[in-house]
Amino acid sequence: MDIKKLTQIHEKIKEYQKIIITPHGRPDGDCIGTSMGLKDMITATYPDKTVYVSGEETDFVKFLGRTDQIDDKEFEGALVIAVDTGNEERIADQRYKTGDFLIKIDHHILVTSYGDIEYVDTSRPAAALIILDLYALFKDEYTMTPKGAKALYTGTLTDTGRFKYPGVDGDTFRNVALLYDIGLDTEDVYRHLDTRSEQLIRFKGYVLLNYKKTPNGVAYIEITQELMEEHGVNDEQASSLVNELGVFEDCPIWVLLAEYEEKIVRARVRSKGPAINEIAGEFNGGGHAMASGANLGTWERAEELLKALDDHAKKYKESV
Ligand SMILES: [Mn+2]
């Protein structure tokens, strides 16, 4: 935790009358949870400030709050806070450039720097926890409502696989404890996160019956647009099933390959053994050591990724 930088961020939040928070494109639970939690904390503390969250939405976390449709002119003189976004190209609202001051708050491995203040803490397994670092540091000044607590809890849950992934430590739970003190309603969070459509459950059945394995232990599933149409699920819902393939003893790596808009193939790569973010980086992607994404484009490129991961799994198995 960088107290000096968090203090600078706190000062900027106090200074600006208008604050625009922006998540990343194709938002996940953490970036939406972080955005909604930060918005709640600022508006609860400073009711006279105007705070927006500008970016796309994701169905499964709409219960945390909706994003705002704002005019270009709103960016004039505004403080913009980009959360959970490693590189500028991925910032959901590209009008951030026309804001007055830009703060980056992120927990991904630093690849490209941006922002007038850049706060990156890779020791935090969810960006939502960084908002809690800020909250805890200025606890005498900040207020948060149970709604904000719910958002930050959801962000933490989704990015840590419900506290299962590496990176979860005592600090994670010390921060989460603060949310309980605020009046967190976990039941409501789980009710939302555990609800699935019947189509998705049937599609999960398809995934479990049709996955494949490479010779050295990469479990994978290939999902085309036709397949999704047939089952009545969208790419985001289909991709949420990636961890269904994480259960095999002989497969330290698993991959979900899916066609997105215009049949562009993307991969979600997960591991319970070797780090996979470097390989993801070679395939126009990246992320965390045990959870990364890759932009492949074509199914041919997907074959190459599977080959690279299969080699990686082989070396890993030989080393342990
Ligand atoms: Mn995140």
How far, in Å, is the centroid of ligand 1 from the Cα of 31? Answer: 6
Instruction: Give the distance (Å) from ligand 1 centre to CA of residue 20.
Output: 19
- Please name the residue that has the structure tokens 């992120």: 106
Query: How much distance in Å is there from the Cα of 215 to the middle of ligand 1?
Result: 32
**pLDDT averaged over 10-residue windows placed end to end, the chain, 320 residues:** 97 98 95 98 98 94 97 97 95 97 95 95 97 98 98 97 92 98 97 94 98 98 97 92 96 97 93 96 91 95 98 95
Residue 287 has a pLDDT of 84
Tell me, what's the pLDDT at 149?
98
Establish whether domains 3-193 and 199-319 are of one fold. no
User: What angle do the packed helices 29-45 and 146-159 form, to 10 degrees?
Assistant: 160
Q: How far is the CA of 209 from the centre of ligand 1 (A)?
A: 30
CATH architecture of 3-193: Alpha-Beta Complex (3.90)
Number of helices (H), then strands (E), belonging to the chain: the values are: 11, 11
pTM for the complete prediction? Answer: 0.85
CATH class of 199-319: alpha beta
- Find the 188 Cα to ligand 1 centroid distance in Å: 21
First to last CA, the chain: 34
- Do 105 and 21 contact (CB within 8 A), yes or no? no
Q: Where are the domains of the chain?
A: 3-193, 199-319
- pLDDT score recorded for residue 320: 86
Q: How far is CA 247 from CA 1, 219, 250, 253, in A?
A: 34, 10, 9, 10
